[in-house]
Amino acid sequence: MTKPLEVPTMDMENKEVLRRIEITGDMLLNMGPQHPSTHGVINFLVQTDGEVMKRAIPEVGYLHRSIEKIGERCTYNGFMPYTDRVDYIAAMFANQGWAMAVERLLGMQIPKYAEYCRIIACELNRISSHLISVGTMAMDVGAVTPFPYALREREFINDLLEELCGARLTYNYLRIGGVAFDLPSGYEDKVQGFVDHFEKILDEFNRLITYNEIFIKRLAHLAPISAQMAIDYCLVGPNLRATGYGFDVRKALPYSVYPEFQFDVPVGRGEVGTKGDAWDRFWCRVEEMRQSCRILRQALAQMPQDREIMAKVPRKIKIPEGTEAYSRIESARGDMQYYVVAGAGENAHRVKIRTGSFTAMGIIDALSRGLMIADLVALIASLDVVAPEIDR
Amino acid sequence: MQGFLDNLIRSKGFDPATWQYTQFVYLAGMAAAAFIVINFAAITAGIFSWAERRVAARMQSRVGPNRVGPGGFLQWVADAVKLLLKEDLVPDEADKLLFRIAPYFMMVGFACVFVALPFSHRLVVADMNIGLFYILAVTALIVVGIIMSGWSSNSKWSLFGAIRSAAQIISYEIPAGMALMIPVLLAGTMSTQGIIRAQGGWPWQWFLFNNPAAFAAFFIYFISALAEGNRTPFDLPEAESELVSGYNTEYSGMRFSYFFLVEWGNMWVMSALAVTMFLGGWQIPGLSPERFDALRGGLGVVAEVASLAVFAMKTLFFVFVVMWLRWTLPRIRVDQMMNMCWKYLVPASFAGVLFVAAWMLLVNAQPWLGYAMRFTLTALGAVSVTLFALRVLRNIHDTGDKFDFTSNW
C-alpha cells in the first residue's frame, strides 16, 4: 500500500487534479460514464498507481433531469409521476415522500386503510430494491449467479406491483390523500404466499453468496466506515446502519402506520470483519429484506376492513403562499426528505429532494484512498448508489 | 504418429529408412494431423461456448440459447458466422501490427498443446518423451498474446488486463508445473501416454489417490490451471465488472472470437491434462495396458473407442466442473491472487514433490503402505463425494425446490 501522498482537496477543480496527476506520474483513469459497474451514468476520475488507487473522485451530474424544477412547474398532483423517476428502483418511496409532503401542506389525515396499502407497496418495493442492490453487488465482485437469483425474486414482486398499479418500474401508485387503486381481490394471499416463499430464498441466497468464503475475503475489512464518519458525511439508510448506528426513520421519527408494527433495525456488527465494512452493508440489506417480510406479514394481518383508499382532497389543490412542509421517509436507500414551499398558484414555489445516494457519493473520495481498483467497484456497489437518485 | 506412418509405408512394400518419399509422407501426415487437431480444438471450443451458456442458464433459472438447432446446439455456429462477418476494427492509436497478430499467438499456443495431448490408447499426435515439458512450454505463448493485445490496444483498461494476466499466468505456471512433476515422479516418464500407462482403470489405481501429496497436487494443479485459463475465480485479466473486458476490450469480430475460442478450448486442455496426469486417462477398468496392446481386430477397435469414451467422459466432467465454478464463485482480488500463489500453492507444491520422493522410497521398502494409503484415500474420496451429495439434497429440500431436468429446453 502506498502511503497517502499530499492529496488535493475536495473543492479543487478537476483541471487542477489532472495537473497534479501529471506531475506525480500516476495514471488517470476515467471510470465511467459508460463503465459496466458504476450503476448508471456516473464518472469516477481515478488516480492510480498500478492497481492501487490514490483517490477516486466521483463526478456526478450526467443524469440530471431538473426534477426539482419540474416540481415547481407542475401542479401538486401532476408532479406525482415525475417522482417515480427520482429513484426508479424504489419509485414507491419517492411517491410516498411527495404525497406526505403535500398532505402536510394541506394538513390532512389519510384513511388508515390507504396507509396500509402504502406500507405493503413500499415494503414490497424495499425488498425489490434491496434485491437489485445485493444482486449487483455480488455481480460486481464477480459472482454472476446471485444476480439472476435476485432478479427472479424481483420478478415476483414486479408481478405483484403490476397487479396493484399496472406498472412494473415507475409505479405512480400513491396519490395525495391516499392511493390510486384498492388492493385487487385475493391480493393479500398472494403477498402472503410470496413472503412465505421468499424467506426460504433468503436462506438460500445467504448460502449461495453472503457466507461464501471468497466473497467474505473480498468484502470484509473493505472501506470500513465508523459511525462518527458516517454521520459527518450524512450517510443514511443501510449505509449508516451498517456502522452500528441504528438510525431508521421508521423507528426514530415514526410516520404512517409504522408504529403499529414490530420489527428490528439490523445494524452492522462486524461479524466477519471490521464493523461498518462493505460486507456489513451487504448483510444489512439482506437482513432488512427479512424485516420487510415481517412488516408485510403484520400489515396483512392487521389490515383495516373499511377499504377506504382516498381522503377528501380538493380537485384543485391551492395552498396559501409560503406554507412550508417537510417529509422524511425511510427509502430503500435511506432517509429521503422532501421540502416543499407552496407557491401562489396551484404549484409549489420550491421543491427540494434530499436523497441518500447523493450523500453516499460524497464519502467515496475519502474511502477510496489506498484501495485497489477492484475494491472501488465493490465500494460503489456496497453504498448502493443509483444514478438518477444522485442527480435527480 | 511417426510409427503409424512408418507402418503405412511398410505396408506398401517400402522401407521408411531408405524410401525417398518418406519425408513427404511425414509432411502430409503432419499437415493432416494439424488440420484435424485445429478443427477439433475449434469445434470443441465452439460447442463448449454453447454448453457453458446452457449450463449457466440452468444454474441461474434461465433458459439460455435454445433457438438455433435442437436445444440451441447450433448457436455456436451462428455466433461464429456473425463474428466472422463483423468489421475488424483497429483503434486509431493502436500499435496496428501487434494488435493484429496478438490473437494468432494465443491461437498457436493453444493449438500446439493438442499435439501432445492423448485422446485414447493409440490416438495421440505425438507421444513425445518430453510431452509434459512441451505442453508447459507452448501454453506460455498464450500469455505473450495477452500481453501483446493489452499493450497494443492503447487502452488503459486493456493494459490493466494485460499486466494482471502477466502477473497471474506467469506466477501460476510455477505451482502448476511443480504439481505436474508429482505424477512424473510416480510414473518415471514425461510422456503423457507413459504417465497414463503407469496408472490403472480403477480409481484406487489413479495417481490422484496414490498418496496425500498427489491428492493435494491435483487440486493445486486444478486451481493453477483455472488461473492460467483466466477462469473464475481467477478471471482478473478480463474482469468484466472492473476492467470492462480486460485485454480484449478493443477487439471486435474475428480477432475477438479468437480470444474466446482459446478460453473455451483451454477448458478441454486443462481438464484433459488433469485427467491424464491424475485420473488414469483413457484406462478402461479391468483392462491392463499390456492386454490392451495385445488386442487385435474388431475387439481392438471396440476397446479403442471405449478408451476414447472413458477419456472424453472424464474430461467433459471436469469441463463441467470448470463451468460450475465459474457460475458459482466470486472473483478474488489481485493481491489475494498473488498471495494464494506465492504463499500457499508454491510452497505446497514444492513440499509435495519432496514428500512424494520420500514416499516412493518408503513404499519401495514397505509395499503394503502404498496399498493401505490408496485404499484410505479412495475411501475418503468416496465419503466426501457422498457427503457433498447429501448436503446438496438437504439444501434443495430446505429451499422447497425440486429436481427438474426436463422442462424449458
Q: Where are the domains of chain A?
A: 14-59, 67-364
Residues A244-252 have a mean pLDDT of 87
Enumerate the residues of chain A whose CB falls inside 8 A of the CB of residue B160.
51, 373
Cα–chain-centroid distance for residue B19? 39
Q: Which residue has the higher pLDDT, A173 or A17?
A: A173
Instruction: Answer whether residue B404 shows pLDDT above 80.
Output: no
Q: How far is A128 from chain B (nearest CA, A)?
A: 18
Which residues are paired to A31 by β-bridges?
A44
Q: Is residue A242 within 8 Å of A281, Cβ to Cβ?
A: yes
- Tell me the nearest-neighbour CA distance from B244 into chain A, angstroms: 6
Rg (CA), chain B: 23
Extract the C-alpha cell encoding A24. Answer: 506525480
Q: Which residues of B touch A37 (CB under 8 A)?
A: 241-242
Min distance A33 CA to chain B CA atoms (Å): 12
Four-residue CA torsion sign, A164, A203, B394, B313: positive
Q: Which of A111-120, B61-70, B279-288 has the highest mean pLDDT?
A: A111-120
Quickly count helices (H) and strands (E) in chain B: 15, 0
CA dihedral A361, A365, A368, A373 (to 10 degrees): 70
What pLDDT is stored for residue B344 in this prediction? 92
Average pLDDT across chain B, whole number: 85
Residues 6+ apart with CB under 8 A from B358: none
Cβ neighbours of residue A213 closer than 8 Å, sequence gap 6 or more: none
Q: What is the C-alpha separation between A254 and A290, in angstroms, rounded?
A: 20
What's the whole-number mean pLDDT along residues A184-203? Answer: 88
Tell how strand A52-59 and strand A43-49 pair up. Answer: antiparallel
B329 chain-A contacts, CB cut-off 8 A:
142-143, 212, 214
Q: Are B193 and B136 in contact (CB under 8 A)?
A: no
Of the partner residues B164, B334, B400, the one whose CB lies closest to the CB of residue A200: B400
- B199 secondary structure, DSSP code: S
Taking an 8 Å cut-off on Cβ atoms, the answer to whether A204 and B398 are in contact is yes
pLDDT digits (tens, 9 = 90+) for B49-84: 898 888 888 888 888 888 888 888 898 899 889 988
Phi-psi region of A316 (alpha: psi -120 to 50; beta: other; left: phi over 0): beta
Q: What's the CATH architecture for A67-364?
A: Orthogonal Bundle (1.10)
The set of cell numbers assigned to B235 is 478471471
Return the residue of B nearest to A136 by Cα. B241
**Dist. CA B319–CA B269, nearest whole Å:** 9
Cβ-Cβ contacts under 8 Å between A and B: the total is 90
The mean pLDDT value for B279-295 works out to 82
Q: Average pLDDT in the A199-226 region?
A: 87
Q: What is the pLDDT of residues B9-24, one digit of tens each?
A: 787 777 777 777 778 8
Sheet architecture: strand order including A52-59: A27-31, A43-49, A52-59
For A308-320, what is the mean pLDDT?
Answer: 82
Give B12 or A95, the one with higher predicted confidence: A95
Residues of chain B with a CB closer than 8 angstroms to some CB in chain A? 56, 59-62, 156, 160, 163-164, 232-233, 235-236, 239-244, 327-336, 395, 398-400
Which residues are within 8 A (CB) of A379 and not within 5 positions of it... i.e. 6 or more apart?
A: A222, A223, A278, A364, A367, A368, A371
Chain centre to alpha carbon of residue A225? 18
Q: State the pLDDT confidence band at B379, using cuts at 50, 70 and 90.
A: very high
In 3D, which of A267, A103, A131 has the Cα closest to residue A202? Answer: A131
Tens of pLDDT, residues B165-178 = 888 888 888 999 89
Per-residue model confidence (pLDDT) at position A22: 65
| Amino acid B282: pLDDT | 86
Q: How far is Cα A305 from Cα A285, in angstroms, rounded to an integer?
A: 32
Contacts of B59 in chain A (CB under 8 A): 145
pLDDT-derived band at A128, boundaries 50, 70, 90:
very high
Q: Which amino acid is at B149?
A: S
Phi, psi values for residue A354, rounded to 5°: -110, 125
Cα–Cα distance, A155 to B226 (Å, whole number): 34
pLDDT band for position A23 (50/70/90)? low
Q: What confidence category does residue B389 fall into, taking pLDDT thresholds of 50, 70 and 90?
A: very high
Q: Kindly report the nearest CA distance between residue A145 and chain B, in angstroms.
A: 6
Q: Are B118 and B131 in contact (CB under 8 A)?
A: no
Grade residue B385 by pLDDT with cuts at 50, 70 and 90. very high
Q: Please tell me which of the candidates A27, A203, A218 has its beta carbon nearest to residue B333.
A: A218
* Distance in angstroms (rounded) separating the CA atoms of residues B253 and B265: 18
Q: How confident is the model at residue A19 (pLDDT cuts 50, 70, 90)?
A: low
pLDDT at A17: 62
| pLDDT at residue B390, rounded to an integer | 92
Q: What is the pLDDT of residue B137?
A: 87
- By Cβ distance, the residue of A201, A209, A372 closest to B333 is A372
As beta bridge partners, residue A327 has A338
Is A218 in contact with B332 (Cβ distance < 8 A)? yes
Q: Are B307 and B282 in contact (CB under 8 A)?
A: yes
Reported as a pLDDT band with limits 50, 70 and 90, residue A9 is very low
CB contact under 8 Å between A145 and B336, yes or no, is no
Number of CB atoms found within 10 A of residue B218's CB: 22
pLDDT by residue (tens digit) across B346-358? 999 999 999 999 9
Q: Mapped to the 3 state alphabet, what secondary structure does chain A carry?
A: CCCCCCCCCCCCCHHHHHHHHHHHCCEEEEECCCCCCCCCCCEEEEEEECCEEEEEEEECCCCCCCHHHHHHHCECCCCHHHHHCCCCCCHHHHHHHHHHHHHHHHCCCCCHHHHHHHHHHHHHHHHHHHHHHHHHHHHHCCCCCHHHHHHHHHHHHHHHHHHHHCCCCCCCCEECCEECCCCCCCHHHHHHHHHHHHHHHHHHHHHHHHCCHHHHHHHCCCCCCCHHHHHHCCCCHHHHHCCCCCCCHHHHCCCCCHHHCCCCCCCCCCCCCCCCCHHHHHHHHHHHHHHHHHHHHHHHHHCCCCCCCECCCCCCCCCCCCCEEEEEEEECCEEEEEEEEECCCCEEEEEEEECHHHHHHHHHHHHHCCCEHHHHHHHHHHHCCCHHHHHC
Cα B167 to Cα A367, B258, B310, distances in angstroms = 27, 22, 36
CB neighbours (10 Å) of residue A39? 24
B95, B148 Cβ separation under 8 angstroms:
no
Q: Which of A142, A208, A374 sits opposite B233 (nearest CB)?
A: A142
Q: Categorize the per-residue pLDDT at A1 as very low, low, confident or very high, splitting at 50, 70 and 90.
A: very low
Q: 3-state DSSP call for residue B320?
A: helix
Chain-centroid distance of CA B320 in Å reads 12
Model pLDDT, residue B220: 92
Segment B146-172 shows an average pLDDT of: 86
Specify the pLDDT at position A237. 87
Q: Do A214 and B332 touch (CB under 8 A)?
A: yes
* Residue B171 to residue B261: CA distance in whole angstroms: 23
Residue B347's CB: how many other CB atoms inside 10 A?
12
CB A286 within 8 A of CB A206: yes
* Predicted local confidence at residue B1, as pLDDT: 66
B70 prior amide bond cis, ω within 30? no
Cα A88 from chain centroid (whole Å) = 10
Give B327→chain A minimum CA distance, Å: 6
Cα–Cα distances in angstroms (integers) from residue B114 to residues A214, B101, B126, B336, in the given order: 33, 21, 9, 32
Chain A residues close to B332, C-beta within 8 Å? 142, 214, 217-218
pTM, whole model, 2 decimals? 0.86
Least confident range from A67-71, A210-214, B398-402: namely: B398-402
Amino acid of residue B376 = T
Q: What span, in angstroms and rounded, lies between the C-alpha atoms of B333 and A78? A: 48
Q: What is the mean pLDDT of residues B134-159?
A: 86
Cβ-count burial B153-174 (b if 16+ within 10 Å, e if not) = bebbbbbbbbbbbbbbbebbbb
pLDDT value of position B355: 92
Question: What pLDDT is attached to residue B347?
Answer: 92
Q: Minimal Cα–Cα distance from B39 to chain A, Å?
A: 31
Q: Please give the residue of chain B at the shortest CA–CA distance from A138.
A: B330
Mean pLDDT (whole number) for A92-103? 90
Task: Kindly report the average pLDDT of chain A as a whole number.
Answer: 85
Please report the pLDDT score of residue A10 as a whole number: 46
Phi (first) and psi of residue A341, to 5 degrees: -115, 125
Nearest to B329 among A197, A214, A375 (CB): A214
pLDDT by residue (tens digit) across A341-371? Answer: 988 888 888 899 988 888 888 888 888 888 8
User: Could you read off the pLDDT of B354-372 as tens digits, one per residue?
Assistant: 999 999 898 888 888 888 8
Instruction: Indicate the pLDDT class of residue A320, thresholds 50, 70 and 90.
Output: confident
pLDDT at B350: 92
Lowest mean pLDDT among A98-102, A139-143, B7-11, B246-250: B7-11
Given a cut of 70, whether residue B104 has pLDDT beyond it is yes
Q: How far apart are CA B191 and CA B184, in angstroms?
A: 9
Check CB contact under 8 Å for A142 and B334.
no
Nine cell digits for residue B18: 531408405
